[in-house]
Amino acid sequence: SEEGGTSILIDGKKVLHTIIQKDPQLLPALFSPVSILRGNHLSMDLPIFRERMDGSFSIRFSYDSDLYFPRRLEKILARFNQAYLLNEKYRTEHTLQEGAILVIDNLRML
Protein backbone atom coordinates (compact mmCIF):
# COMPACT_ATOMS: atom_id res chain seq x y z
CA SER A 1 0.00 0.00 0.00
CA GLU A 2 1.15 3.53 -0.66
CA GLU A 3 0.07 4.47 2.86
CA GLY A 4 1.45 1.52 4.83
CA GLY A 5 -0.87 -0.79 6.76
CA THR A 6 -1.10 -3.47 9.40
CA SER A 7 0.05 -7.04 8.90
CA ILE A 8 -1.13 -9.78 11.25
CA LEU A 9 1.29 -12.67 11.67
CA ILE A 10 0.71 -16.00 13.40
CA ASP A 11 3.70 -17.90 14.78
CA GLY A 12 3.30 -21.49 13.57
CA LYS A 13 6.15 -22.72 15.76
CA LYS A 14 4.49 -21.40 18.90
CA VAL A 15 1.14 -22.86 17.82
CA LEU A 16 2.65 -26.28 17.14
CA HIS A 17 4.49 -26.40 20.48
CA THR A 18 1.27 -25.60 22.34
CA ILE A 19 -0.70 -28.23 20.42
CA ILE A 20 1.94 -30.87 21.17
CA GLN A 21 1.81 -30.04 24.88
CA LYS A 22 -1.87 -29.25 25.45
CA ASP A 23 -3.97 -30.42 22.49
CA PRO A 24 -2.24 -33.49 20.97
CA GLN A 25 -5.49 -35.02 19.67
CA LEU A 26 -5.31 -32.43 16.85
CA LEU A 27 -1.94 -33.69 15.63
CA PRO A 28 -3.09 -36.59 13.39
CA ALA A 29 -5.36 -34.29 11.35
CA LEU A 30 -2.83 -31.46 11.20
CA PHE A 31 -0.01 -33.77 10.01
CA SER A 32 -2.09 -35.78 7.52
CA PRO A 33 -2.36 -34.70 3.87
CA VAL A 34 -5.46 -32.58 3.38
CA SER A 35 -7.11 -31.83 0.06
CA ILE A 36 -8.54 -28.33 0.12
CA LEU A 37 -10.44 -26.92 -2.85
CA ARG A 38 -10.85 -23.29 -3.90
CA GLY A 39 -13.53 -23.07 -6.53
CA ASN A 40 -12.72 -25.87 -8.99
CA HIS A 41 -9.00 -25.97 -8.20
CA LEU A 42 -7.11 -28.16 -5.76
CA SER A 43 -5.02 -25.68 -3.81
CA MET A 44 -3.49 -27.92 -1.20
CA ASP A 45 -2.87 -31.62 -0.92
CA LEU A 46 -0.35 -31.35 1.91
CA PRO A 47 -0.55 -31.47 5.68
CA ILE A 48 -1.09 -28.21 7.54
CA PHE A 49 2.10 -28.89 9.50
CA ARG A 50 4.95 -30.69 7.78
CA GLU A 51 8.35 -31.76 9.06
CA ARG A 52 11.14 -30.53 6.81
CA MET A 53 14.38 -32.36 6.01
CA ASP A 54 16.34 -30.18 8.45
CA GLY A 55 14.03 -31.19 11.35
CA SER A 56 12.14 -27.90 11.43
CA PHE A 57 8.41 -27.68 10.70
CA SER A 58 6.47 -25.60 8.21
CA ILE A 59 2.86 -24.44 8.40
CA ARG A 60 0.53 -23.84 5.46
CA PHE A 61 -3.10 -22.91 5.94
CA SER A 62 -5.77 -20.37 5.06
CA TYR A 63 -9.21 -20.43 6.65
CA ASP A 64 -11.38 -18.05 4.68
CA SER A 65 -14.80 -17.76 3.04
CA ASP A 66 -14.01 -19.61 -0.21
CA LEU A 67 -12.34 -22.57 1.46
CA TYR A 68 -13.84 -26.04 1.03
CA PHE A 69 -12.52 -29.16 2.73
CA PRO A 70 -13.73 -32.66 3.62
CA ARG A 71 -16.64 -32.70 6.06
CA ARG A 72 -14.71 -34.93 8.47
CA LEU A 73 -12.32 -32.02 9.05
CA GLU A 74 -14.95 -29.35 9.60
CA LYS A 75 -14.91 -29.35 13.41
CA ILE A 76 -11.18 -29.96 13.67
CA LEU A 77 -10.24 -27.07 11.37
CA ALA A 78 -12.79 -24.73 12.95
CA ARG A 79 -11.34 -25.55 16.38
CA PHE A 80 -7.76 -25.11 15.14
CA ASN A 81 -8.67 -21.74 13.61
CA GLN A 82 -10.56 -20.47 16.68
CA ALA A 83 -8.26 -21.79 19.40
CA TYR A 84 -4.96 -20.95 17.73
CA LEU A 85 -5.07 -18.79 14.61
CA LEU A 86 -7.54 -16.24 15.98
CA ASN A 87 -6.07 -16.37 19.48
CA GLU A 88 -4.21 -13.16 20.40
CA LYS A 89 -1.62 -15.29 22.20
CA TYR A 90 -0.21 -16.44 18.84
CA ARG A 91 -0.78 -13.27 16.79
CA THR A 92 1.48 -10.27 16.30
CA GLU A 93 0.49 -7.06 14.52
CA HIS A 94 3.04 -5.02 12.62
CA THR A 95 2.04 -1.59 11.37
CA LEU A 96 4.16 -0.55 8.44
CA GLN A 97 4.75 2.98 7.27
CA GLU A 98 4.73 3.94 3.61
CA GLY A 99 7.70 2.32 1.84
CA ALA A 100 8.48 -0.10 4.70
CA ILE A 101 8.97 -3.81 4.18
CA LEU A 102 8.50 -6.74 6.53
CA VAL A 103 10.61 -9.85 5.97
CA ILE A 104 9.40 -13.07 7.60
CA ASP A 105 10.06 -16.81 7.51
CA ASN A 106 7.24 -17.81 5.16
CA LEU A 107 7.43 -21.43 6.34
CA ARG A 108 7.03 -20.59 10.04
CA MET A 109 4.58 -17.70 9.93
CA LEU A 110 1.05 -17.31 8.60
Asked if residues 79 and 22 have their Cβ atoms less than 8 Å apart, the reply is no
pTM of the entire predicted model:
0.81
CA quadruple 25, 85, 61, 75: dihedral sign: positive
Around Cβ 78, how many Cβ atoms within 10 Å?
11
pLDDT digits (tens, 9 = 90+) for 30-87: 998 877 666 677 666 778 899 999 999 999 887 776 666 778 888 998 999 999 999 9
